Every structure is written in structure tokens, then in C-alpha cells.
Chain A
Amino acid sequence: MVSLLGIRIGPGAAILPKDVKRIHMEFAVKQNDGHLGPRKFWREHLPRLKYHNPAVAMTVSQTTDQSGPATMTIFYTSSSTITVPSTSTLPNNAPQERTVSIDMKHIPASEILSRLSRLTGLETIRATPEEEAMLQNMEEDAKVRQADAKRSVIQQEQRRREADMLRQAKGEMVGQA
């Protein structure tokens, strides 16, 4: 249940605007040369995004070319009228669809998410009261667990000490007898 809660809420849990049709990520297999951020984004943020946008296709293709680019391309449907800040856009003059891409190289995953958010206008999902209560329960449980662990370590230590003493005492008695 925890993992399901983790996919419903958290960074990346957001609804994309309706005109986003597809998101494609392309980056290298290995992490060096700035390809770590994209992979982290794929592993940690993209599942949540996918969960809240089941209709949006999300594809990932990994290349073996480590020095190659790491880009995220967002495909819009043709009827879109939203204007996008042109700083990081690469307008592709395809007749049917409009695409926007983000350069993800040397960028941490959280920054990729915020760029995507700025670019498309993500609508962040916040935890519902039930989910908040669940989270709070989990935190309380963790506190209890930690306290229990500490106590049991102390108890074990004491038990071991007493057993040692008893053994030594017994050994001495045998030695004296």
C-alpha cells in the first residue's frame, strides 16, 4: 500500500494540460556525462506523472551514445492554441503536431520536473485528507518503531551482560568446588 501511496502523491504527481499528447525522453544508458538526471526523472517522477495522466503516452528511448544529447520532447495536439515561452523551445514545423523540447543534460531530476512544469503548466496533485492521515500514521509508526528498536537494543545489551555475569559466577563456583 505504501508503494501505491508513493505513486499517487509526491513530486511529479500532477496533471498535464489537455493538449499534451505524448512525452518522449531520449538519453543515454549510463549516467556519466550528465545523463543521471534524466534517468532519475524517468525512475522517480515519470511514474507519478503517468499515473495521473494515463491517456498521455510516455516513451523512453535510451541510446548507447554517452556524449549524445538528453532531451525531452513534448508533443501537442494540432488544435493547441497555448503559447509557450520561447526560451527553451525548439519549434518543429510539422504539419500535424507541435513539439517542444527540453534539454535535460547535466540537469537534476527535480529541476527537469520544474522546467516541465514551467513549460506546460502542470496542475499539481495534493494529498487528500485520507492520504495525509495515512502519511501521518506512517510517521507515527516510524517513531514508535525507532523507540522500540532503541529499547530492545538496550534490553539485549543488559541481557547479554547478565548472562555473562551468570556464566562467570557459575564458572567460579565450579572452580571452587
Chain B
Amino acid sequence: MASAKTCITQLGRTSLTTLGRTQYRNPPTSIINYFQQTTRHASSSNPQKSKKKDVSKKKPRTNFTQYDLRAAEQFSLCDAMRYIRAFEVGRPRASPKYDIHIKLRTPKNGPVVRNRLRLPHPVKTDLRICVICPPGSKHASAALKQGAVLVGEDEVFDTVKAGKIEFDRCICHVDSLAKLNKAGLGRVLGPKGLMPSAKLGTVVRDIGASVREMVGGSEYRERLGVVRMAIGQLGFSPEEMQRNIKTFMEAVKKDVAQMSDRVAKEIHEVVMIHPTSSPPPLTQPYVSNHAR
């Protein structure tokens, strides 16, 4: 490009200067077009654009975008399951393959839906739970009875500090909280979301009950206006799925109703999807359908 430029300037200098000037007085048609185009753009579309910009600057969006659902295709549960089962053919039956997403009509700020529930048919059955309470106490025995993997105080702290975190959830007894805070595990457990805190309901008095709740229980929370949760395993029957979905929907509705005094939330859209790593087989040659 630089060479072309120098070439033209050289040409301009070597050739007659008048010729060069006339060239600019009567520029080539393409440049005229260019100017016309730019002016037309400036007159027609730019004001709209700038207007739009001004509007968006004045009023930032406080709600998440809601799409018109009238055009969306709806499926019955059995049909949706048939599709998902076909996509996921040959996968192990116990793999959690049904996800449900509930889109809420909600402002961007404010409290979010966040809770834990126990589905009639648990999806994740291999949850490992760590319980922090004095070893040998009745809480410890209750926790072990309900299926906790790791129970104790100091030895648990040591293993965690050594970088050995072999559990997916961690709950703490109220009496052991002070010891836990003193141990300084927040830096290790915090980023993983495993640090027990009263706010999350993971600091409890009745260890046995909460462990039972957690084994086969699942957590859900609203992120960007959508509550997502794994709702079923691939091998579930439609009836099992129906019970799970009903329970989940009722729980979310209850949470939403509890927040109704503070914030207006409504359930907008329910989507069931398969959270698979493999894309479904697309655009194959369809010729075989037309050919007899």
C-alpha cells in the first residue's frame, strides 16, 4: 500500500501539477459515489443510531431480556425425553443427562433464588460429604450413619491444609465453628465454595438431618436470571422425571413467593435440555429419504 501511495505521489510530482489539480476537482466517479454514500448514511441511518445510543445511555436495562415465546416450539415431557434419549443413546443409564432451566422475569439486581432440595429421585448419588464436628460425639456418629465420608475436627483441617480435599460438600456443627475459623481454612475452601457458613445453611445444629438432606439433595441458585439444575438421570422413566420436575418447580415457586415482598419475580420459561459434551448429529445427507 505504501508503495502504491509513493507511486501516485511521484506521478503527481513528475507529471503536470495542473493535471493533478483538475483530477481533484473532478474526482473519479467511485470517490463521488463514496461521498454520496457517506452523506446518505449520515442523513438517514446515523441519527437513528445516535438516538438509540442516547436512549440506552439514559436508561440502562434493569431487567434481563425477555424473548417472545409465542414462536418457540413446545414439547410434551415424553417427546422431549424421546429426543434426549435418542441424542444420548449408548450412554450409561446413571449419567445425569436431564437439566432443567427456569428463566425468571426478574430485575438484574436484588436477591436471587437460592436453595437446596431433596428430589424424590436423587440425581447425583455419589456426593461425598465432610462433617466438621468433635470426633466421637453423637453428632459424629449420626453423620457417619447418614453417609458422611469424612468426620472430625483437627485431622480434617490437617488433610485439607495438605491439599487433600476428597469431598464435594462440607458442613460444620455450630460448636465447631470457632475452631474452624481459627484453623484458617477459608483460603483453601473458600474458592471451591466448600467453606461452611451460616448464610449458606452449612453451619447447623442437627448434623444428622442435614447430612441426610444433602445425600441425594441438590442445590440450585439463580444466575443471570436463570435457575439451572440437573433434574434426572438418563435411565429415569417419564413418571420419575415428572415427580422430580414437579417437586423442583414447586420449590422454586415457593422461593419466588417468599421473595415477593422484596422483589417481583415470575417464572417465564422452562427449558429442559441435555447437557451433553457431544453435539447431536446434524445435517446428514438427506438423499436417502428422497430416494426410494
Instruction: Assess whether A58 is in contact with B90, with CB atoms less than 8 Å apart.
Output: yes
- Check: B285 CB closer than 8 A to any chain A CB: yes
The residue on A at minimum CB distance from B9 is: A172
* B281:A44 contact, CB within 8 angstroms: yes
Q: Does A97 contact B (CB under 8 A)?
A: no
> CB of A162 within 8 A of chain B?
yes
Chain B binding surface SS class: helix
Take A7-B86, A10-B288, A126-B289 as given contacts and tell me if A171 and B5 are in contact as well, using a CB distance cutoff of 8 Å. yes
Q: Is B50 an interface residue (CB 8 A)?
A: no
Select which of B20, B30, B280 is within 8 A of A165 by beta carbon.
Answer: B30
Q: Considering the chains assembled together, what is the distance between the CA atoms of A30 and B280 in angstroms?
A: 20
Q: Which of B8, B83, B86, B283 has the most CB of A within 10 A?
A: B86
The answer to whether the Cβ of A104 comes within 8 Å of any Cβ in the partner chain is no
Q: How far is the CA of A51 from the CA of B9 in the complex (A)?
A: 69
Also in contact, A4 and B83, with CB within 8 A (given A46-B90, A126-B289, A168-B4): yes
Q: How far is the CA of A10 from the CA of B286 in the complex (A)?
A: 5
Q: Do B290 and A127 touch (CB < 8 A)?
A: yes
Min C-beta distance of A142 to chain B, whole Å: 10
Known: A1-B73, A48-B86, A54-B85. A172 touches B281 (CB 8 A): no
Size of B's binding interface in residues, CB under 8 A: 36
Asked if A47 and B8 make an inter-chain contact with CB atoms under 8 angstroms apart, the answer reads: no
Check A50 against B289 for contact (C-beta < 8 Å): no
Given contacts A47-B89, A50-B89, contact A11 B12 (CB under 8 A): no
Which A53-103 residues sit within 8 Å CB-CB of chain B? Answer: 54, 58-60
CA distance A107 to B277 in the complex (A): 26
- Let me know if A172 and B12 touch, CB within 8 A: yes
Complex interface bits, B7-47 against A, C-beta within 8 A gives 1, otherwise 0: 01100100001001000100110110110000000000000
Q: With A1-B73, A164-B1, A172-B20 known to touch, is A7 a contact of B281 (CB < 8 Å)?
A: yes
Which residues of A sit under 8 angstroms from B290, Cβ to Cβ? 126-127, 132
Partner of A169, one of B31, B83, B278: B31
Q: How far is the CA of A161 from the CA of B1 in the complex (A)?
A: 11
- The interface bits of chain B over 49-78 (1 if a CB of A lies within 8 angstroms of the residue's CB, else 0) are 000000000000000000000000100000
Asked whether B157 is an interface residue with its Cβ less than 8 Å from the other chain, the reply is no
Q: Given A47-B89, A48-B86, does the pair A162, B283 have CB atoms closer than 8 Å?
A: no
- CB-defined A-B contacts under 8 Å, sample of 15: A1-B73, A2-B282, A10-B284, A42-B89, A46-B89, A47-B280, A48-B281, A49-B89, A54-B82, A58-B89, A59-B90, A124-B288, A127-B286, A132-B290, A162-B31
4 extra interchain contacts, Cβ-Cβ under 8 A, other than A10-B281, A47-B86, A47-B87? A10-B286, A60-B89, A124-B288, A166-B34
